[in-house]
Amino acid sequence: MSGGRLAVLPAVTPAPDLPGWDRRWSRLVEAVDHDGAVRTWHVLDTAPEGGDAIGTLLCVHGNPTWSYLWRGLASAASAVQLGWRVVAVDQLEMGFSERTGTVRRLGERVQDLRGLVDALQLSGPVVAVGHDWGGVVVSGWAAAELARHEGRHGGRSRVRLAGLVVANTAASWPVDAGAPGVLSAVLAPGVRPLVTSRSQAFLRTTLALPRPALPAAVKAAYRSPYRSAGERAGIDAFVADVPVGAGHPSRAALDGVSAGVGAIAAARVPTLVAWGPRDPVFGEWFLRDWRTRVPHADVHRFEGASHLTPEDPAFAGVVLRWLDERVLRPTPPPGDARPAPAARSPRLWAALGERAGDPQVAGTPAVVQMPAVRAGGSSSRAPRTTSWAELDRRTRELAAGFVLRGVQPGQRVSLLVPPGADLTAALYALLRIGAVAVVADAGLGVRGLSRAVTGAGVDWVVGVPKALLAARVLRWPGRRVSVADLTDVARAGAARLAAGFELPAEPRAESEAAVLFTSGSTGPAKGVVYTHGQLWQLARAMGAVVRIGPGQPLVSAFAPFALFGPALGATCVVPAMDVTKPATLTATALAEAVEAAGATSAFLSPAAVVNVLATAGDLTPARRAALARVRTLLSAGAPVPTPLLQRVRELMPLADPRTPYGATEVLPATDVGLSDILEAGAGEGICVGLPVEGVTVAVAPLDAEGRAGTDLVTTPGLLGEVVVGGEHVKDHYDQLWATQAASVDVRPSPTLLGAVRAGRWHRTGDVGHLDERGRVWIEGRLAHVVTTAEEVVTPVGVEQRAETVAGIARAALVGVGPRAARQLVLVAEPDPAVVAGLRRTTVADPVLAQAVREATGRNLVAVLLVPALPTDVRHNSKIDRVRVSSWAGRVLAGERAGALA
């Protein structure tokens, strides 16, 4: 290493007034290092006298931090009676530990840590916790202690390795790869010492990574042991020790750590991989490597986190919960039961062969794809029709072709193809060979889609040219297959099948089948994993609500329904529209799609329904007559106002418009039609009807703080979080261990537990109640509940009553101010027939405001009118109340809040 000999400085203790730091944690410990020399370490220790604890968390920082990184974990652990003892070290040459003047390599740091643990006389269950290159060090120590405990390296260890927690670190690194991420620039000739020791550039850049930004005082605390070039010499040496290339002195040690991680995996040591996806050094490759090397590991992605993952506000809570559930109490909670799958259950592609094998239906349409609509309102070309025989053959040929391309069972494949025959055949082909389909549509926006595809860790991307261009520009992982190449893939597969090639064995019912991404309307889109068995149950439940099957064609303006239709033997018609923008569906396009296959059912999003009604005046008598033959119309994804459903019935008089309730995690959960809603009458919230067959709905009551408990009840009228149990509930969230654990954290009564023994529970995040007839009423999202000093207020009922006032088209109820003084504010879009030409935010006139207060029965501190309320990107209909609340707070504080929508 360049830069001369390292500075020699004694170990000291940090200042007692650092933010979040408890001066009682600091201690100096002498221990023998790898050379046999006695060295002094600074250690954060929450129980320096040994105290009562259930075990020890041995935490090792990386570069250029110190034990201060673990202060949040230490505080959280200390707050728990009889909790975990946290021992966080400052590595030698780092933090406030001794500067010995020695360049320490990876293998030597592992040995040094072993000497310190011996000096501390740690015993009993120990969980190794590491970040950055400290994660590599502690993983090496953990593997050695595992071997010692089992007697493989001579002697017996007092320590029992109880678990491993790693955050943004490496399990390995290819010998032929350069430095990871931005470290390649730091390791350029002449650059490293300039930015690591001679200046604070490397240190300050690292501290600038977290979002939200670290407070200035916290950054200063991190810099406090690194004020001089001599104090920063260890930072420079640590960077120089990154094992790049086969000849690096620490390459053998890194390979040893990698082998040790394999031993940890073989012993099935409980492991948590905590990850910040925005890390410029430890990118997605490292996370994929951990998942491959430790398949049983739990993974939790902190979507907003960058490199310093332990700085994420949720980090400590996630780690402590994981310790409780995976290390101390390794049994699934009641809501997370995993029943044994049936010995045999249908697969999605089974109907294709059955329909193709029937001579009477083999040549009939399976998928009808409508062409674009001309400006005059009619289609420019004939529909593209794919028969059952063609779809079945294409699916089998693509399956064989994908195998030839190298797609393997368990690999993840992102499908970025518009709904139609190509997407249907490709999806069924991939499922047939055991690949996992990743479905995230462009409605998430470029950033959301990129986050979803990258985070899912796809191995392949199958897409249209535009999607593949985005994959290259945004550096998405995976090999790429263009939709234009699917013909070649199928042709190669057909040739192999003709030569006697047999497809792989069908995947098991409990194997992962698909990762379906949520809309992202309540935070970053989450990947929802379904097994093959669950996917079939989901399709069957959806089919029962949509009322489709053989001889009952479906027009679908929503991709999942378009994909599930053929699995149920139903002809699926894809209308002419941009499926990423539901509001682009016109009444003419819908009517043409209905005519093309004589469809009796249609599925539209709420935004699509609005535009169909808005363009109904363009319908010719023949097309209006076609829509009048529709018997089942469904709209889901967001609440649909009753007046809108009544207008739909005027357009489709034979249909009882239905609005099933559910989510990506469980769809459908309940079913309700316009007639049911009218029968239920007015109530607090939106009536979404009765649970569908095989589903049980209960509530987890809210407390005075607006928080939902874990006990489940079905008491009529009791407000709580809506919890759904059933056999087609999701398997789990993808790489979101804590989110999944929270979603099944319920305590059902014995009766409820017995009712869903064939499935599992899911906390929806919605709040509502059950009525005396068992109907479910939704009153809003749990995150949107407004808790004041006097009461807990749900938004939907208030908003509905506000929208009955002449002049109010759509409303959002939010809370403004701290809890003790929180006030209710209504932000609304005005009815243009009453308030015309609104271009900027304004306060409602006194007459309108008073009418709203009287209608809602609430003492609203303000009624604000805006040109438009912000909505989600996929459904174009869910109001972003979090954004509205923040904006309203700024407006009422007299700040320049800017435009809302």
- If one compares 390 and 561, the residue with the highest pLDDT of the two is 390
Length of the chain: 901
pLDDT at 155: 60
pLDDT at 351: 92
pLDDT at 639: 73
Listed in sequence order, the residues at least 6 apart from 324 whose beta carbon sits closer than 8 Å to its beta carbon are: none
pLDDT at 667: 87
β-bridge mates for residue 301, sequence order:
275
pLDDT at 756: 81
Across 110-127, average pLDDT: 96
Across 681-706, average pLDDT: 94
pLDDT band at 877 (very low <50, low <70, confident <90, very high): low
891 HSE (CA, 13 A, CB side): 25
- If one compares 312 and 580, the residue with the highest pLDDT of the two is 312
pLDDT at 259: 98
Residue 153 has pLDDT above 90, yes or no: no
pLDDT band at 140 (very low <50, low <70, confident <90, very high): very high
pLDDT band at 341 (very low <50, low <70, confident <90, very high): low
Residue 56 has pLDDT above 90, yes or no: yes
Above pLDDT 90, what percent of the chain? 74
Q: What is the pLDDT of residues 735-763, one digit of tens each?
A: 999 999 999 999 998 888 878 876 789 99
Highest mean pLDDT among 164-173, 177-186, 580-589: 164-173
User: What letter does residue 856 receive in the DSSP assignment?
Assistant: H
pLDDT at 151: 67
As a CATH number, domain 387-507 is: 3.40.50.980
Residue with structure tokens 């509205």? 884
Check if the beta carbon of residue 206 is closer than 8 Å to that of residue 72.
no
Q: At what angle do helices 606-614 and 642-651 cross, to 10 degrees?
A: 50
Q: What is the pLDDT of residues 800-821, one digit of tens each?
A: 999 999 999 999 999 999 988 9
Which own/partner pairs from 569-572 qualify as long-range (CB within 8 Å, at least 24 positions apart)? 569/351, 569/354, 569/355, 570/543, 571/364, 571/365, 571/366, 571/367, 571/368, 571/597, 571/599, 572/366, 572/367, 572/368, 572/424
Burial class from Cβ neighbours inside 10 Å (0-12, 13-18, 19+) for residue 296 reads exposed
What is the domain class of 668-730+738-782 according to CATH? Answer: mainly beta
Cis peptide before 295, with omega less than 30 degrees from 0?
no
Lowest mean pLDDT among 167-181, 245-259, 571-585, 689-703: 571-585
pLDDT at 469: 92
Give SS3 for 641. Answer: coil
Residue 861 has pLDDT above 70, yes or no: yes
Give SS3 for 225. Answer: coil
pLDDT at 5: 63
Listed in sequence order, the residues at least 6 apart from 781 whose beta carbon sits closer than 8 Å to its beta carbon are: 522, 765, 766, 767, 881
Question: CA-CA distance, 261 to 296, in Å (whole number)?
Answer: 12
In the numeric block, which tokens belong to residue 571? 């002809």
pLDDT at 343: 47
Residue 255 has pLDDT above 50, yes or no: yes
645 HSE (CA, 13 A, CB side): 22
- pTM value is 0.91
Closest listed residue to residue 554, CA positions, set 822, 330, 365, 819: 365
DSSP one-letter string for 707-730: -B-SB-B--TT--EEEEEEETTS-
Q: Per-residue b/e over 311-337, b at no fewer than 16 CB within 10 Å? A: bbebbbebbbbbbbbbbeeeeebbbbb
β-bridge mates for residue 160, sequence order:
125
Across 879-892, average pLDDT: 90
- If one compares 549 and 669, the residue with the highest pLDDT of the two is 669
Across 424-440, average pLDDT: 95
Across 483-508, average pLDDT: 95
352 HSE (CA, 13 A, CB side): 25
User: What letter does residue 782 receive in the DSSP assignment?
Assistant: G
pLDDT band at 82 (very low <50, low <70, confident <90, very high): confident
Q: Which amino acid is at 259?
A: A
Question: CA-CA distance, 370 to 359, in Å (whole number)?
Answer: 26
pLDDT at 1: 44
- Return the H-helix or E-strand segment holding 203: helix 201-207
As a CATH number, domain 8-328 is: 3.40.50.1820
DSSP one-letter string for 452-490: HHHHHT-SEEEE-HHHHHHHHHTT-SSEEEEGGGHHHHH
pLDDT at 872: 60
Dihedral over Cα of 86, 87, 93, 98: its sign: positive
Residue 4 has pLDDT above 60, yes or no: no
- Return the H-helix or E-strand segment holding 432: helix 421-432
Check if the beta carbon of residue 58 is closer than 8 Å to that of residue 138.
yes
Residue 362 has pLDDT above 50, yes or no: yes
In the numeric block, which tokens belong to residue 536? 């079939």
Q: What is the pLDDT of residues 439-454, one digit of tens each?
A: 887 778 888 889 999 9
pLDDT at 381: 73
Q: What is the pLDDT of residues 524-551, one digit of tens each?
A: 889 999 999 999 999 989 888 888 888 8
Residue 482 has pLDDT above 70, yes or no: yes
The yes-or-no answer to whether 352-382+547-659 and 387-507 have a common fold is: yes
pLDDT at 149: 75
pLDDT at 875: 47
Residue 336 has pLDDT above 80, yes or no: no
**Residue ranges per structural domain of the chain:** 8-328, 352-382+547-659, 387-507, 668-730+738-782, 786-892
Q: Which amino acid is at 452?
A: A
- If one compares 522 and 126, the residue with the highest pLDDT of the two is 126
User: What letter does residue 783 receive in the DSSP assignment?
Assistant: G
Question: CA-CA distance, 34 to 31, in Å (whole number)?
Answer: 10
In the numeric block, which tokens belong to residue 217? 């005082």
Question: CA-CA distance, 303 to 261, in Å (whole number)?
Answer: 25
Give SS3 for 538. Answer: helix
- Return the H-helix or E-strand segment holding 437: strand 436-439
Across 656-683, average pLDDT: 92
Across 131-157, average pLDDT: 86
As a CATH number, domain 352-382+547-659 is: 3.40.50.980
Residue 377 has pLDDT above 70, yes or no: no
Mean pLDDT of the chain, nearest integer: 91
Homologous superfamily of 786-892: ANL, C-terminal domain (3.30.300.30)
537 HSE (CA, 13 A, CB side): 27
- If one compares 148 and 403, the residue with the highest pLDDT of the two is 403
Q: What is the pLDDT of residues 713-723, one digit of tens each?
A: 999 999 999 99
**Residue 62 φ then ψ, to 5°:** -110, -145
Closest listed residue to residue 795, CA positions, set 776, 775, 810: 810
